[in-house]
Every structure is written in C-alpha cells, then in structure tokens.
Structure 1
Amino acid sequence: MWTCSLLKTNAKQALRGRYWRCFWICLVLGLVGVGGSSASTGGSRYTMDTVTGSDTAYDRVANYLDSLSYQMLMTILVVAVLAAVISLLWSIFVTAPLEVGRDRYFMESRQALSPAATVTSVFRTPYMNVVKVQFLKNLKIFVGTLLFVVPGIYWDYCYALVPYLLAENPYMTTTRAMQLSKDIMDGEKFHYFVLGLSFAGWILLCMFTLGIGYFFLEPYRQATDAEFYAAMRSKALAQGLTTTEELGGFVRHESY
C-alpha cells in the first residue's frame, strides 16, 4: 500500500544526481505551456451607435473618430481571435503531446538517467494518436467543467493517468486509455487528491518568491506523480486490469 511519504521518499531518491537536468526540462516545458494547468479562452462583444451625417465640423470629426474606433475594435477583435486559435492549436498539437513526453521522461528517470530527447520522442509515430487521445480526454473534461463543474473535476481525476498510459503505450486507443485510467483510479481519487494537497506548504512558500520557487518545486512534483503512476501500474497488473503486453515498461525509449 502506497503512502504520500513513501512516494515522496522514492521521488527524492529518483531525483538524486538528476535534479538539475529535470529542473531545466521542467523549466523549458513550463515556458512553452506544459505545467499541468489549463487555460480557457473567452470572447468579448461590443456595441456601437450609428451617427447620422451632419454638415458641422464637430459632427465630421465625431464621425471620423467613430470610424477610427470601429477599425481599432475590429483589429483588436481579429487579433484576439487569431491569438485564441493559435493558442488552441499550440495546446492540442504541442503542449498536450509534450505532457506525455514529460511523463515518459520521469518514468524512465526512475531507473536510469534518461536522455532529454525522450521528452520530444512523442513527436514520432504514432504522434497523431497521442494528439487524438489527449484532445478527446481534455475535451470531455472541459465540457464537464462547463456543464456543472463537478463532472469536470471528477473526470479530471478519473483520467489523470491517461498521459502516463500513452507514455508507456502510445498506440493505445482513446476508449481503452480512458477506461483503463478510470478503472485504475477507482478508489484512489481521494488519495490522489491528498497527495496533491501534501504540496500545499511548498506551494505557499513558492508564493513568497513571486512564483520563481515553482520552477524549483516542479521536478519534485513530477517525480512524485511518476511514483504514483508506478504504484497504480503495479496495482493494475496485480488486479488483472492490464497485462505486460499492453504496458511493456519504460526501457525502450529508442524505439518509441
């Protein structure tokens, strides 16, 4: 049976001699948007009043300013829409797959020093399958959050292991990855919540560093999450939820 203290002890052991490499990897990933946080985009609308023509200089100036304001607002709106689209595409095709690559890196680093290229190995075949599974998983969580919030939070915990499952078997289908993660997390969701809550003290200290401390804490958190998946993987194999043929381990990053 795993405990928070046991996972954290194992995480510290896994980081021994590898912390700074993990730090730089987490730093770069954080800069490109990979950090376990989600972003949402929203739209804005505006109203305009039409002004009738006038022969006075004042009205001509007012009409010109209205026209200029309209052009500026349209430009801002177009830029905002383009930025939202680019941000969405970046999240789907870059940050979500990199989350899988990061998880594979930390799982491999539990046993031996893994090359930094492991993080980007996700962009090889079957890259599009990873993109599809991650997108559909995140879409379901997002829709659940929009509906009643609670379903989104519940599904977030149910599918927490999907990136790790893809990291171990990138050919896994969407249905299988989500169902297997849900089965494994049965009875573990509250414990996983407590595990995340155990970092509250560290997070509070990071707030006093204007957020800089988060970059130094991130390797520790990711290593702990990797230990959690290792414990859940053992549980799944012991209960017959999966097999070693489906989850073959993390020792073949060269062929991934």
Structure 2
Amino acid sequence: MNRHLTKGFQIPAGSFGMFLMVALTIWVLLYDRVMLPLASKIKGRPVRLKPIVRMGLGIFVSCMSMVVSGIIEHIRRRRAISEGLLNNSQGLVEMSAMWLIIPNSLNGIAEALNAIGATEFYYSDLPKSMSSIASALYGLGMAVANLLASVVLSAVDKYTKGEGKESWISSNINKGHYEYYYWLLALMTGFNLLYFLVCCWQYGPSVDVDITMRMMEPSDDEIDLPQKKKSTPDLNSC
C-alpha cells in the first residue's frame, strides 16, 4: 500500500501503531474535558458512564475495528490481484495506506474505554485493602489474551491450509485471506460481548465510585488499628 504523505516522505510501516496511542489520548481528553462537562451541563446534574458500561462499549468498538480491518484488507487484496501482484507480496498496491488509520484509531478508542473502565471497575468493587490486586488484574487479563491470541493464530494457520491451498495467514498476503482472519476475530469479539452482557446481568448493579475519592479512603486495616493515646506527663511525680 502507498504509505506516502508527500512525494518525499512516507510513514514507516511499523509506525502506524502510533495512531492507536494518538486516538487513545485524544479520546481520554475529549471524554474527560469535553463530553462529560457538556453532558452534565445539559442534564443539570453530574453525568458519568459507569465503568461496566465503558467496558462493554470498548468490546463493541474493538469488534467494529476488526470488521473495518477485514473490509480494508478485502479491497486491498482484490486490487493487488487485479494489478497482477498475486505472486508478488512486496509489490506496491495503488491504494493509500492511510485507510489503516481508521481501524488503528478504533483500537485506540476501544483500549481507552475498556482498559480505563476495567481498572475503575476493579477499584470501585474490590475492598480498599485489595487495591494492589485490582491494579494487577488488567495486566493478568492482557497476559492471558496474548497467550490465547497465539493459540488462535496457530489454529487458524493449521486448519485453513491444505493441499494446494494457502493458509489464511500466509506469508504471501495476496494469496492468503487475512480479511477472513479479521472477520473471524470480529465474530469471536461479538460472542465475547454477548458473554460480557450475560456476566453483567448475573453480576447485578455495580458500585459507581470515583477512584480518586476511593484511593483517599483508609483501608480496613487502617480503620481497625487502635489509636495510640497521647501520654501526658504526670506533674505530681515531678
């Protein structure tokens, strides 16, 4: 794909992930400084999306990102074949790589919604004494997700290739079907969203607590500690 912004400058292929972080930062700023104050002003009362709602929205946006990635890859592959690049995976397809900014930006928004929402959910629903566990749960989830991603990738490569047939994730992207892989991930994310909704229904209403205020509260251990009485000198003994 054409990665040129100008005739003399092109974005390195590995730098497109930068747009994920840019979108994440912009979304956090807009949500916290623009959207919430504006919604609160319109409603006449403080408005705030619960962490569990943001987590669900993050999963949905992630699903949409995979759908869009599949559509872009389908168009790219079709153009590559029409331009005679089926056996040339290094050939330049006459299609702007700037289209990839869309799914990367969606991934950034999904990360902002889900990651921050999950962290706030753990802090608000777990006891203050378990705050260290709350901060580690998201990292644990990411570790398990990376492990499962490797399993899914290996399974797709194994079961989609056969005699005279290229794998979906072939090293030659023009012979493979990466769009099918993206759509498979979108389908799995959709099932994950349904499972998340069922878990939310079973869990019941969550506690909506401001993290800043929660972190300032004393822990259960601090509350139970006896207060030492300040000793006063006995003047009669002097």
Q: TM-score, normalised by structure 1?
A: 0.28
Structure showing greater Rg? 2
Q: TM-score, normalised by structure 2?
A: 0.29
